[in-house]
Each structure stands twice: as C-alpha cells, then as structure tokens.
C-alpha cells in the first residue's frame, strides 16, 4: 500500500487563502504588509526563487519591492541598503536572497537586518528565541514542515524524529521545533556512522542533505512519516529530492513529493511571516 501524499501545494493554498483574508483586514486598518527582496548577482536559481516570491506576495495583496544589484556591489553598499529598509515603515519583511558573492560576508548581512523584519528567521536573535521557545520568526522551511505535520494529524508527542542535516536554515531549527512538540530528536549528518541503523528507528524522518535519492527503503521504518526537503537533479536532469520517492513510498505511511511538497510551503510561510510582522506593528 502506497503512502499518503503530503501535498505542500494543497496545504500551502489553504494557508494562502487565510493570509489573503488577514491582509484585507489589515488594509482596512491602514496597513499594507510590505516585503523587500534584495537580490545580488545573476544566479538563475536565485532569480527563479525571487520571481516566485514576488508573484506570490502581489497575489496575496501585499506590497512588494525588489532591489537588484550587480554581484560587484560592495558589502558596505549592501549594508546601507539594509539599514534604509530597516527604517522604512512601508516594509515589514526584509529578505536577502542567498547565496551571496564570495566577497560579501553572509553573517554580517543577516545580522544587519532588523530582527523584527527578519522574515527569513536567520538573524541570531531569532535563532536564539527559537532555541529557548520565545516568540520570534521561525525559518520558513521548518515552519512549513511543522504545518504539514500538523495538517496530517501526526502527534509528535513521544515519537522519535530523526533529522538528516544540520544546517542553520533547515536541520537545526526543525529539530528544535520538533523538540518543542515533545518529540525525541536525533540529528544525523555526513559524519554519522551507520546511518540506516539510526534512521530505521524514526517515526518521523526529515531528509535535508542535498544528495539526490540518498534515502532509500533501507533507511526507513515501516509506517514512518517521511519529509523530503531536498531539491536536486537526478541522472536524467529531472527534479528529485533527497529521498528515493518510488522506493520509499511503499513503506512510509506518509511522504512529501518533490516537486510539490516542502517547496511551496517555504514561500507560503515567508508570506505568513511578513503578514505577522505587519500585524505586530499595530501592537506597538
């Protein structure tokens, strides 16, 4: 029996409908949520991501601003732009599209963003708040994963969750969020010895390693929920995840597809964070 398909497209659409209604209510109060996206250089993947973010924000009735720079821009000039956006009352969310050119220090750029406008959830202050369970901004991909788990009604309490990957963007924060829901969390990574022995224990398996079809049926316990964060190209240049979908879907109870799984949720939760930031301005 094949696994239940967890469609980020469908779940994301439901959330976006709710966002549109809340945006309309905010506008009635004189506030239009505003998102500024800063793009440096000509990376094709980054351009695609940014275009999708722009389209989605406009579709939801938000104010959207795209600021593009040549990759030769100096770090100082980029930081000056961020400082300007920090003080712009029409902008509630600031996103600097990564990766950045080598001569620009990523950490310095992220740290320059006002934490109250850091809708990517990457600022050290928001990362710290996540760690101690305080209200801040949750990184969009982990935020989306939690919404998916919630949607399928999977109770995390007492379950063993295994996260493969330890990035600051996905691996570390998703582990913290799962822990907050009373799951027992194990982190695995490139130095983990005998990976299948550990992943086979997982009631929930989150794969975020960036290796095409690395996770096969030998890694998955029967009936596990499998969340595939990877976006890769296989040997035929076809889009695929970190999980060998056709192999694993026969053992898992539920699984996210690639494409159409976690990806759409990431952009949706970026919009949710931008809206939340705008709503918080009314509380000040």
* CA trace torsion 153, 23, 119, 94 (10° rounding): 160
Same fold for the domain at 29-115 and the one at 140-259?
yes
**Predicted pLDDT at 103:** 96
Task: Say if domain 29-115 classifies as CATH 3.40.50.10860.
Answer: yes
- CB burial string 200-217: b at 16+ within 10 A, e below: eebbbbbbbbeebbbbeb
* Pick among 3.50.50.60, 3.40.50.720, 3.90.1010.10, 3.40.640.10: CATH of 140-259: 3.40.50.720
**Predicted pLDDT at 282:** 87
Is 1 a residue whose pLDDT tops 80? no
Share of the chain above pLDDT 70, in %: 99
DSSP state of 236: T
Q: Is 93 exposed, middle or buried (CB count within 10 Å of its CB: 0-12, 13-18, 19+)?
A: buried
Share of the chain above pLDDT 90, in %: 92
166 appears as a binding residue in the annotation: yes
Residue 170 binned pLDDT confidence (cut-offs 50, 70, 90): very high
Q: Whole-model pTM?
A: 0.95
Q: Where is pLDDT greater, at 234 or 206?
A: 206
Q: How far apart are CA 49 and CA 267, in angstroms?
A: 9
Residues 184-200 pLDDT 10s: 999 999 999 999 999 99
Average pLDDT score over residue span 91-114? 96
Every domain of the chain and the residues it spans: 29-115, 140-259
- Phi, psi (rounded to 5 degrees) for 210: 80, 30
107 appears as a binding residue in the annotation: no
Q: How far apart are CA 169 and CA 131, in angstroms?
A: 13
Q: Do residues 242 and 232 make contact, with C-beta atoms less than 8 angstroms apart?
A: yes
Residues acting as catalytic residues: 53, 97, 120
**Predicted pLDDT at 175:** 98
Q: How far apart are CA 167 and CA 24, in angstroms?
A: 36
Phi-psi domain of 138 (left: phi exceeds 0; alpha: psi -120 through 50; beta: other): beta
Q: How far apart are CA 197 and CA 219, in angstroms?
A: 7
Determine which of 41-50, 138-147, 213-222, 228-237 has the lowest per-residue pLDDT on average.
41-50
210 appears as a binding residue in the annotation: no
Question: Which segments of 182-221 does DSSP mark as H helices, in order?
Answer: 195-199
Is 283 a residue whose pLDDT tops 90? no
End-to-end CA gap in the chain: 52
**Cβ atoms within 10 Å, residue 258:** 22
Is 284 a residue whose pLDDT tops 80? no
Residues 117-135 pLDDT 10s: 999 999 999 999 999 999 9
149 appears as a binding residue in the annotation: no
Q: Do residues 58 and 32 make contact, with C-beta atoms less than 8 angstroms apart?
A: no
Residues 11-26 pLDDT 10s: 999 999 999 999 999 9
- Phi, psi (rounded to 5 degrees) for 105: -80, 110
Residue 95 binned pLDDT confidence (cut-offs 50, 70, 90): very high
Q: Do residues 108 and 75 make contact, with C-beta atoms less than 8 angstroms apart?
A: yes
**Predicted pLDDT at 2:** 85
Residues 32-63 pLDDT 10s: 999 999 999 988 888 888 989 999 999 999 99
């Amino acid at each position: 029996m094949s696994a239940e398909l967890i469609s980020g497209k469908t779940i994301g659409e439901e959330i976006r409908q709710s966002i549109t209604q809340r945006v309309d209510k905010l506008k009635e109060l004189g506030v239009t949520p505003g998102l500024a996206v800063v793009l440096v250089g000509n990376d094709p993947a980054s351009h695609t991501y940014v275009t999708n973010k722009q389209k989605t924000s406009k579709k939801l009735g938000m104010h959207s601003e795209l600021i593009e720079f040549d990759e030769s821009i100096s770090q100082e000039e980029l930081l000056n732009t961020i400082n300007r956006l920090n003080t712009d009352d029409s902008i509630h969310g600031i996103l600097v599209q990564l990766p950045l050119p080598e001569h620009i220090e990523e950490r310095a750029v992220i740290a320059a963003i006002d934490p109250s406008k850091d809708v990517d959830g990457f600022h050290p202050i928001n990362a710290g708040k996540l760690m101690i369970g305080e209200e801040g901004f949750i990184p969009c991909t982990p935020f989306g994963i939690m919404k998916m788990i919630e949607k399928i009604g999977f109770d995390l309490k007492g379950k063993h969750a295994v996260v493969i990957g330890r990035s600051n963007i996905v691996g570390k924060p998703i582990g913290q969020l799962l822990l907050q829901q009373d799951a027992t969390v194990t982190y695995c990574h490139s130095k983990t010895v005998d990976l299948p022995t550990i992943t086979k224990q997982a009631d929930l398996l989150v794969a975020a390693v960036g290796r095409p079809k690395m996770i096969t049926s030998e890694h998955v316990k029967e009936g596990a929920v499998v969340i595939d964060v990877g976006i890769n190209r296989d040997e035929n240049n076809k889009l695929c995840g970190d999980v060998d979908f056709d192999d694993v879907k026969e053992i898992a109870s539920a699984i996210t597809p690639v494409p159409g799984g976690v990806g759409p949720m990431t952009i949706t939760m970026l919009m949710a964070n931008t809206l939340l930031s705008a709503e918080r301005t009314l509380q000040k």
